[in-house]
Each structure stands twice: as structure tokens, then as C-alpha cells.
């Protein structure tokens, strides 16, 4: 639990790159990350019912919130291997790539995130996490509070200036 919660509460986005099987707790770790890439031949697998257990590590929460209760229960009860292309269709991953290019694509995704405004990413992640468990009105209030932090940051000033000057922004996380 501490490791999975650390991913969820981390101020920076986490990327999972699934190559082969993400079964059991491995699937929970993949789903806990903010972004997921999967190799074409990779799959998520909820094999628990076959061994007399239930999913753990938050897998039930992630599945139910992503694919809906009925589909989540089907995946858990029947324990079918969910292929990468199906994970993409169901929203359990962001991209499917060739297996021999998986790590390179994950590094490219990380490099793309590295040039974004750190505060924006941090508070967007916080807002998304809040939206998963709050109603619309509460979510709007949380967004407004976090937006104020971002709007008053040096990064927002730099972003606006860079836009006007038609150049890439250089963010500092302040």
C-alpha cells in the first residue's frame, strides 16, 4: 500500500511501460501510474479467482473507475488476459507500441513531460485524483484553488511571456 499510494500522491507523473504480463499486483502497479504504455504483445491479467484470491493493491478500484463495475467484475471473475489493444480501447493504457520500441517510447513520453510546467502537472494530477472521488461542485472548487496556485506562479508568467514571444517556455517549478 505505501508504494502504491506514493505513486498516486507523487507530485510528478508516473509512467508504466508494460512488456509481457502485468498480472496480480503488477497490474495494480501499472494501473496506479498516471500514464501507461503497453507493448503490442503485453496484457493485463486478473488471475486471482483461479487461485482463490481477490485483486489487491487497488486493482478493483482502478478497474471499476476505468471500465465500469460490470466490466471490472467480468475481468476479475473470468480472469481473462486482457490484450494491449483491448486495454487501449477500455482506457487502461494510453498507447500501444511495438515491443522492441517500448522503453524508447516511454523515454520519449518522459522527455515530453520533463519540459512541461512542473506545477501544472502536479496540480492537474491532484485535481484528477480529487475528481475521482468528489462531486462536480467540489471538483470545481478544488480546481479553482489549484488554478490560483498555478496562476500566481513564476511558471505561469514564463508561459505567458513565452507564448507572446513565440518561443518555448523554460519552466522552473516555481
Q: How does pLDDT run across 113-122, given as a tens digit for each residue?
A: 999 999 999 9
Cα separation values, 50 from 54, 72, 110, Å: 9, 16, 36
Confidence of residue 50 (pLDDT cuts 50, 70, 90): confident
Confidence of residue 10 (pLDDT cuts 50, 70, 90): very high
- State how far the Cα of 120 lies from the Cα of 58, in Å rounded to an integer: 26
Q: How many CB atoms lie within 10 A of CB 24?
A: 18
Q: What share of the chain has pLDDT > 90, as a percent? A: 95
Q: Which residue carries 476479475 as its cell?
A: 76
- State how far the Cα of 174 lies from the Cα of 172, in Å rounded to an integer: 6
- State how far the Cα of 165 lies from the Cα of 91, in Å rounded to an integer: 37
Q: What share of the chain has pLDDT > 70, as a percent? A: 100
Q: Which helix (H) or strand (E) holds 97?
A: strand 95-97
Task: Please classify residue 97 by burial: count the beta carbons closer than 10 Å to its beta carbon, then call 0-12 exposed, 13-18 middle and 19+ buried.
Answer: buried
Lookup: cell for 72: 471490472
pLDDT of residue 19: 97
- State how far the Cα of 129 lies from the Cα of 81, in Å rounded to an integer: 27
Question: Does residue 102 have a pLDDT over 90?
Answer: yes
Q: Which residue carries 513565440 as its cell?
A: 166
Confidence of residue 141 (pLDDT cuts 50, 70, 90): very high
Question: Does residue 77 have a pLDDT over 90?
Answer: yes
Of 38, 37, 168, nearest to 114 (Cα)? 168
Amino acid at each position: 500500500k505505501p508504494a502504491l499510494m506514493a505513486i498516486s500522491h507523487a507530485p510528478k507523473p508516473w509512467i508504466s511501460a508494460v512488456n509481457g504480463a502485468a498480472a496480480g499486483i503488477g497490474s495494480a502497479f501499472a494501473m496506479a501510474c498516471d500514464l501507461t504504455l503497453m507493448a503490442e504483445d503485453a496484457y493485463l491479467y486478473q488471475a486471482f479467482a483461479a487461485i482463490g484470491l481477490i485483486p489487491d493493491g487497488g486493482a478493483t478500484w482502478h478497474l471499476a473507475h476505468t471500465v465500469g463495475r460490470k466490466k471490472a467484475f467480468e475481468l476479475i471473475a473470468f480472469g481473462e488476459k486482457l490484450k494491449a489493444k483491448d486495454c487501449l480501447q477500455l482506457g487502461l493504457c494510453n498507447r500501444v507500441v511495438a515491443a522492441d520500441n517500448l522503453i524508447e517510447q516511454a523515454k520519449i513520453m518522459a522527455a515530453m513531460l520533463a519540459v512541461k510546467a512542473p506545477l501544472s502537472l502536479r496540480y492537474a494530477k491532484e485535481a484528477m485524483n480529487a475528481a475521482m472521488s468528489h462531486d462536480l461542485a467540489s471538483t470545481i472548487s478544488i480546481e479553482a484553488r489549484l488554478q490560483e496556485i498555478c496562476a500566481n506562479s513564476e511558471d505561469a508568467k514564463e508561459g505567458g511571456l513565452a507564448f507572446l514571444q513565440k518561443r518555448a517556455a523554460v519552466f522552473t517549478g516555481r
